[in-house]
Amino acid sequence: MTAIAQDFSQVCRQWRQFRKLSQLELALAANVSQRHVSWLETGRSKPSREMVIRLSEAMDVPLRERNSLLKAAGFNAIYSESRLEDPGMASVLDAVERMLSHHEPLPALVVDRLWNIKRMNRAGELMLGLGGDLAALQKEIGFGDELNIALLSVHPEGLRRYIANWNELGPTFARRLRVEAAASGDPAVQSLFARMIELADQGGDATPAIHDLQPVLPLVLEVGDLRLKLFSVISTLGTPQDVTADELRIESFYPADTQTAAFFESMQQGD
């Protein structure tokens, strides 16, 4: 949804349809009349800045796209976009570092909207480096300056070589990327995700098995004689008011069997 290239009525309707809301459902969620929603979507009425924000909240539009909606309606963006290292983000960075530290000896990563890794703990470095030197691998498969966990996972010469259950994980991961690409109004994001989806789809149209379903689909890594089985929990910051804070995700990995738990425990004891 490229809000800057379209007017507010078009983008508002696209977001409502993307969220699978009727005009009545959106009106109820935003505490406005269905007629007013209809007039906004046809361009018969122009929204106030407060109405843009109210509708954005009702549709759970990310802060970056709320800024785009505001611009499409003729208003200035109101949500700042800080660097993680900026003084104003000190409390957020401290919380993130605490989460990473407290999750040791298990892996944890902090990623942005592009899946670039902004921070990781020592166990995270260990997990990603199981297949060899991480810096050399990054250079070999043509990454930019930042390590991207999604590209690293889907690239045939990256971690994908060690994902034993890729035929199950691949289609699920590709669907997640398609959803995120569809929700993004940034052509750069859509282009990058299209590249990752193409890489994820290489090797056939495998689909997840529908028999013997488990509570979660684990990530199974096999490197030599080592076999690790993990699942992850993804956390976000509550009530963000900054675009960077809104887009941060902390992915914490947990062992799915006793062998994996013992491996990471032994790595900590070996320090």
- C-alpha 208/C-alpha 219 separation (Å) is 13
Q: How many CB atoms lie within 10 A of CB 261?
A: 17
Q: Is the peptide bond before 187 cis (omega within 30 degrees of 0)?
A: no
Alpha-carbon gap, residue 187 to 1, rounded angstroms: 9
Q: Measure the CA–CA gap between 150 and 181, rounded to whole angstroms.
A: 13
Residue 245 has pLDDT above 60, yes or no: yes
Domains of the chain: 3-72 (1.10.260.40), 87-269 (3.30.450.180)
Q: Is the pLDDT of residue 210 over 60?
A: no
When pLDDT is averaged across residues 229-241 and rounded to a whole number, the result is 95
pLDDT tens readout for residues 77-111: 999 999 999 999 999 999 999 999 999 999 999 99
| pLDDT of amino acid 138 | 78
Residue found under tokens 């993990």: 230
Q: CA distances (Å), 179 to each of 44, 182, 193, in order? A: 31, 5, 10
> Residue 191 burial (CB < 10 Å; 0-12/13-18/19+)?
exposed
- State how far the Cα of 195 lies from the Cα of 190, in Å rounded to an integer: 9
- What percent of the chain lies above the pLDDT cut of 90? 68
pLDDT band at 10 (very low <50, low <70, confident <90, very high): very high
Sign, CA dihedral 46-50-53-55, equals negative
Cα 42 to Cα 7, 11, 27, 46, 106: the distances in Å are: 10, 11, 15, 10, 52
- Residue 2 predicted with pLDDT over 70: no
| Structure confidence by residue, pLDDT tens digits, 103-151 | 999 999 999 999 999 999 999 999 999 888 888 877 777 667 788 999 9
Longest dimension (CA), the chain: 68
Q: Check: CB of residue 147 under 8 Å from CB of residue 117.
A: yes
| Banded model confidence at residue 216, pLDDT cuts 50, 70, 90 | confident
Which residue blocks in the chain are alpha helix, DSSP H? 8-18, 23-30, 34-42, 49-58, 63-72, 90-102, 122-128, 134-140, 149-154, 166-183, 187-201, 243-247, 258-269
Residue type present at position 268: Q
pLDDT value at residue 184 = 78
How do 249-255 and 108-111 pair as beta strands?
Answer: antiparallel
Q: Considering the entire predicted model, what is its pTM? A: 0.86
Is the per-residue pLDDT at 270 higher than 70?
Answer: no
Q: Which of 9-13, 31-35, 178-182 has the lowest mean pLDDT?
A: 178-182
Provide the pLDDT for residue 5: 47
What's residue 166's pLDDT? 92
Question: Cα–Cα distance between 30 and 54 in angstroms, integer?
Answer: 6
